[in-house]
Structure 1
Amino acid sequence: MTQSSNGIFRVPVHVFLIAVGLIMLAVVGGSIATLGYNAMNQALRAALEDQFDSLTILMRERGRRLVDPIGAQLGVLIHDPLSSATSLEGRLARLPVLAETLRMNGTVVSVYAGYPNGDFILVRKIETDEDVSRFNAPEGTRFLVQTITEQENGKRNGAFRFYNHALHLIRHDPRDDYTYDPRQRPWYRESQFTNVQKLSEPYVFFTTQEIGITVSRRSADRGAILGLDATIVRLASEIASIRPSSGSEVAILDSEGRMIAYEDLSKVISLHGDGRVGRLHVSDLGVPVLARIAEKERLLGPARSGTIEVDGADWAYSNGPLDIGLSEPARILLAVPVHEMFAASRQIIQVQGAFVVLVLILGIPVGWLLVRRISRPLKVLAQDVRALAAFEFDEPIQVDTRIREVAELSVTIDNLRYTIQRFLEINRAIAGEEDFDTLLRRLLDEIIATTDTEAGILYLTDAEGARLVPHASRTDDGHDLDFPIPDVLLSRRNNVIVRSIADENAESAAASQSELELCGLAGLPEKMAEPPQFLLAAPLYNRQKELVGVLLLIESHAMDPALVRFTEALSGSAAVSVEARQLIAAQRELFESFIQMIAGAIDAKSPYTGGHCARVPELTKMLAAAADRSDDGPFARFKLSEDDWQAIHVAAWLHDCGKVTTPEFVVDKATKLETIYDRIHEIRMRIEVMKREAEIGFLRHLLAEGGDPADDAELRRQQSELDADFAFLAECNLGGEFMSPERVERIEALSRKTWTRTLSDRLGVSHAERARMDAVPERSLPAEEPLLSDRPEHMFARPEADKLSPDNHWGFKMDVPELLYNRGEVHNLKISRGTLTDEDRYKINEHIVQTIKMLDRLPFPKHLRNVPELAGGHHEKMDGTGYPKRLTKNDMSPVARMMAIADIFEALTAVDRPYKKGKTLSEALKIMTFMVKDQHVDPDLFDLFLTSGIYMDYALKFLRPDQIDAVDPQDYRVSAPAAE
């Protein structure tokens, strides 16, 4: 192809002729095919309308053949003596007539008669194994006679009689449970007062639960109502037989759109839960085209046809009346996909198109061969380019052609392929490596391979930005440069590295000995297979144009100027990658620091926790590592990824972060009356006052009555009694013993003792306490006060925010006390065990609720989304009695169950808690054995804890020598409970 001076492109004559010939043949062939296609389509449309009319007539005739014989048979039966027979014997005598009725018409499944007194006789065909199974019929049964007869005593007896084909009785089964009353059935009621034959809507037969229709009519002597049951299966099969094509749809429905018949009967009838049956509306049939036709067309009047589009497909349809002898007007809807209707015309078009192609092939063979020969290299090249678009860069691009331009284009595209491939490999290396130092080495390896240089060094700036520190040095064979490389001071502008930073561009320089010494690389030539010839330094800048490092490439051959430009482009991508990884590493370090800070704050907050938050992660990780190493047993399939390990680390360190919200005076409550201080001192002072009041009363008595001051026995008795009372209260305050009913009664008795208050109790109190005290009026002074009391100011209402609704979205299932705190003196002293009230206990347990809430609010990345679940489950029990969610073993992840064991074992053995001494190994393991038996901890994990020796590894690292006693792990192993 050439271009003239005026810009007009010219082509060779053979190309022009081939093009013109192809165009002309295509236009002529296409015109002929289009005209033929349109003419044939018009003829097919006319033929289809005629076919619609024929199918409607055919369906009417077939429907009549199904319904009319049933009515004719019933017309004969209404004159049969069966209707006047008053005894069972008389009715059974008509069995041959009834059996012959069933034999004559395969559609009729049963014939029956109902009488005014409720008597009933029904004869049913037994044809299939399903019929035999349904009625428990004996072998050889061909007819079943079901009867209900009223006896003289008014009792109604039901019976099933089984007959063979010769009408010989095989078996007679009395059926007291057969309580069918024909007078309550629609077929009986509708025919009771008329001689007109009645045809029911489809319904479920009472006995067989089959779907069909009933034809009923009153007998000529009005002595009975006779009926025939017929299935509608054949009507459905008739519909299937008249379908014009495989994709066609045919349905019969009434004027309201309710279905009468369809080839799939299960879509016609709707069965309700209460046993009622109804006909589906065509819109509920699940056939969009029929529903759309019914919606568009009125289901009344003469036949109509047309086309309609449904779900992007065109349909030809017909909507016409259909008289098949039913009790209600019927319509028939027919729909044929246009693509099936025009299949023949499309086939003709295909034949014509094939003919045109054949002419093209036979008419211009020489031109075709030439064009193919010329275009083949371009096709191959196009395929290679498409492979590049699909990110397939492995195969080199090589085109065998004598056309110079095509060959040059092939080489250029192959160079592009190689460059993109190396860029992608660099990105994959960056994305797939977690360790920062390893990432830098892989990044440098990829850059060396991409630029085809012999070696390279990657420098990064230090924190102050004053020097460049070498972080990776590699050769083209994937090894490190094995010699010390010094830092580069940015204050010295005497080497190629610093000059590239000053110019903000890649700089190259000859690798002379002096230049190498200035760069601190005097030992480089000894470590390379060939002496270095050039150095290429490219500064690395982040998105804020800040220097993050320098890439130094070492070349043993002549420096290609294109390599400088390529390295500059490559350095930008490398800089962004390095910066991104530095930011990720910095964020992880910051996150880890926050975790350590929170855990340290929790342990520092209360001496009762010590180093708990630091030791639980260690023990949890030991258990997780042991489970990860298991190749058999319950944990054979338990394997942890790097993301899983990070989630365990974070969850274990933050498992008690909710304790930052728990008041210290609750956690550290050592006595029953202790809040911020121990209120036993108030009780002591009141008793001191009461002793003084007793003494004052004694002295006043002496002054008033006279007497000997030495006669103070009563005073000493009272004071001694008060001393004993205080000693008792002080002992109860310690919470060391179980509070027996006698002790509780004594506390209540002491609470009724009084002392005299002469000062207002509302002076100097806080606003909040004053508000609680104002719940009762202030008493006038002096006022008698009880020694012990539960006052309004002792009751702290629980804020609405602290309450948990049963359907809270966290799934907490904890019994929340009504009050936030109950500091009543009597209430606290009556605590049966320990020093904590229900409110105190909930406040301590609430730390796990706060842990989950706090962690739930953190925007964890995807691989840490399960941190709240892992951290929040260490107080759950395997039997579902734990808190806060009452989870069972199956509800908890293995790691959450591991953390529960770690939390318990650490708490039992900890020695840095002032309220208890740490347990020995044997004591702790014995306690945990009982917890396994009580289904509080996971037996499989506890067994792993013992058999793997984790308990001893932890003990050697964290326990004191006097705690590590001799234990045999086999003595503490407990078999896992059998699965329920």
Structure 2
Amino acid sequence: MVTRKKRIFKRLSIRILVANMFLLAIIITASVAISLQYSANKRIAVSHMLSSMNLLSDHMSDSVYSLENDAKQTVSLLAELIDTNLSDASIKRKSSLFAQFLNKRPELYSLYIGDKQEHFFQLINLDSAKDIRQRMGAQPDDRWAVVEVSGSNEKRIRQTYFYTSTFHLNHQQTENSNFYPTERPWFAASAQNDIYKTPPYLFQHLQISGQTYAQRIRNSDQVVGLDILLSSLSDQLSQSSSKLINGHEQAFLFSQNGEIIASNINSTHSVITPEIQPILLSQQQKEAITNLGRLKVSNQNDWRPFDFSESGVPKGYFIELMQMISAMTGLKFDYINGFSREQLVQKYKDDGIDILLSVQKAQHTDIEGLYSVPLLDIPYAIATKNITPEPKSLSDLNGKNVGFLGRWSVLPTLKTHFPNIKWQESITEQDLISRLQSGQNDAIIGASPVLKSTISIMEAEDLQVYDELKEINNFVPNHFYLVTKEKQKFALDLINQALSQITPAQRDALDAAWLQQHTQYMQNHLDIPFKKLIKTADDSNAKQPLIIKKNDDTRYYIFIKNIGNDIFTKQYFTAVITEEMLFQQATKEAFHSALLSALVMVILLPIIWLFSTPIVRPIRQLQRVTEKIKLRQFDDVAFVDSNIKELWQLSNSFVSMSQDIKQHEASQKGFMEALIRLIATAIDDKSAHTGGHCYRVPELGLMLSDALEKAEEGPYKNFQFANDNERLEFRIAAWLHDCGKITMPEHIIDKGSKLECTYNRIHEIRTRFEVLWRDAEIDYLHKVHIEKQDPTIALTTWEERQTILQEEFALVAKANIGSELMSEKDRQKIKEIGAQKWTRHFSNRLGLSPAEEMMLVKQDQAGNLESEQLGQQAVIETLLSDKLEHIIPRVKNIYYPPSLGIKMSIPKHQYNQGEIYNLTIKKGTLTKEDRFKINEHIISTITMLESLPFPPELSRVPHYASTHHERMDGQGYPRKLNAEQLSIPDRVLMIADVFEALTASDRPYKKAKPISIAIDIMFNMCQEGHLDLQLFRFFLESNTYLKYAEKFLPEEQIDIVNIKPYLEN
């Protein structure tokens, strides 16, 4: 048997397949072209970016050089022009002089003069940055701001004058000040002959970052300074980059140590902390805080991630912590940066700073003052090269060079406890890392987060950090504090109170932002691999652009160029852009090309669809040919013309195949009909009861169905079999309608009398009457010769007895025929006759067949036989009897599947051969057991035909063949179908079966009836709800009955029939 595999993919139309093949070819061609175009566009994009970057770097180099040169010339010229007498000049005169220089370059923020007497004069260019006016409280028409700081201690004030462009005074401000020029990095580092340029630091007044160019005036204690805001450089960088490149790049100016000087993006790092609750302060405390003013707080340059600055902006864990304290207490802090750690400590000692951050309370420290509660516990760690075995303790480093920061206050303690270690001092963390990488040190020790941060920034991938050196913690504390002077005890108390109220959730937020691996700060910083960039920029042969990939798999293209030197450090320009943004234009053009290709394909789709017609059309015609073959319409199969050779050959094959199938089907049909006729003939030949029934019923049924199809009016004018297959289906059903009778016992089918079994038992009954006849004669002779009774009387008695026996036997014999309806009186008389006694002298157990003996044994075991009858001689028996041995039980239980719809009541016994039971049948010769056995032939018909694999076009054969015993009123068998459930072919076979049975002359159990009587009987059956009256009338009107009679009945049965009475309503 051929089985079909389950398909995973849906079958496609050949037109769709052909169209898709065309589309696929177009798509492949377009994809190759677009890919080549995309690749070329990518190269063009990189080339264009390199060209734009070079232009931008040249422009920025020129701008930075020009700005720096102008700044230096301005400071140098002012140092030459200004003498000590200028300090006595009016504000307007000094301002006008300074304004002449600042007007030349809008990027210059301010010019100022300071001296050792702490006098300070400054002219601020309010147009140098967007937010200067807002920060200083200037009005829109203000052009210049003059700041003068003078006085000492509590009387030191800052006066700010706001002038228009014509130096008309608009308004002024006066406020206390803690600004001292000698404390600023530009004053301390300036020299007479050289111009000093500071690293980026925080301007104290506005707390914004910038750089200062300063020079000491010859032979004086005065210093001239010029400030440039880093925001001005960033604005210039943003404007230039937006013109030359597409605006999606990150452009930077950074120094040799990786510090960003200017950028075209706002690099911010904020900590998302839970809501901060202010401390409840008394009114007195609030006033004290106001009078306290702004406290100066130290800010280191490079102690990441706790306390450092980027482009002069304070950042780090401790800075964020101080901002939280400020929010909780209301204390205001100004951060002082731009100095080394040693300089910040000295300024604290000199009262130039109020609060010193990031301090350890060590035994050998020289920092005195009031210490806060611990700000944080910072664990120590050891860093070594990856190839170095992990040190388990500090003792493993004995005899080795171990680096540390020289400013580390706990170092004397470590040297005391571990004297065998060769301690090597370094100034900065970067120097520590470099010495370790170069092999000068075998290991370095420091705060774990600081080491990790510095290693990450320096991209020291060859180093490994080992955390939690508890051994160090046993000797030195790891707590860090802030320290202040006694005069700031009030502020310290507030700070300690705030520290005690910082929640664990707020601490966790600070840890997540600054101390944990892959923090936002570290990730932002690592976007730019400065060390690799600087190496590339200094190498003229290095290939650009650099391509790096971040942890999120984003690819970056980085361009780098050295744009010149300042006094101390080199400066570099770099542009960073994601691969997605760099190739955006290339991707966009590829998308447009793909869109255009798709549009062309959509336009070409109807043409492609049309091109598939020469293939699809004949295939569809061949498909219709296969449908005709499937429907067995072989004569309608024609050639399909096609210019495609293979399709033409396929068409020829279809035509040839259809003819072969037609011939094969004809032979199969002939064989099947011959086989069916053979079965029907065998059934008829098997029993004279059926005679030619199985042959004549289909003939009559076909006659009537042909007449129905030819009807042009009346209720059956629309009746037609749909095709020859339906006609064949009906014909086969008619031939096989009684095929189940082949399973029926002959003695049941041929039962012509009530006592008939395999023989007519009336002869056995007659013999018993003969016994009674002889008994009557013996009784007469006994009375005359033995008892000596009167012979006349005895003779009369004998003759009367003989007459009664003759009458009684005649009644029994008449009842046995069953041709008439038996009255209740006759049935009772039969029972009375049967009650007469006679004597049996011979055993009823002799000469039995094995089957009879087995049945008697079973009944004996079941206690169903009387003991006096068990083979005894001289047993008194009745003339007629219903004995237990007359009952034949069923061999097996009968079960009909519900799917067959059988609704027949099943008798308890298979047969009941009781003599009185049979003789008292009211009508006919069959008991209910016999009738069920006869009716069971239709069930055999159903089961036999349902078991055959009829094709779909013959699927109703079992149904048609099994409905000819149904009734219109639903009282028929086997399914009790009603009129609504019986089709016209069903009703045709019902009429054909009845008419043939009534007129058949070859039945041994009945006489054939003339057609007039048969029609009258059938009319009565219609009235009783047995047959379809409307179809019966058509049977008469169409003369089908007469045509059948003329063909199959003898002339003596064909009498004249007046059909008009049967046609009237």
TM range (shorter): 0.3 to 0.5
Higher relative contact order (CA 8 A, sep 6+): 2
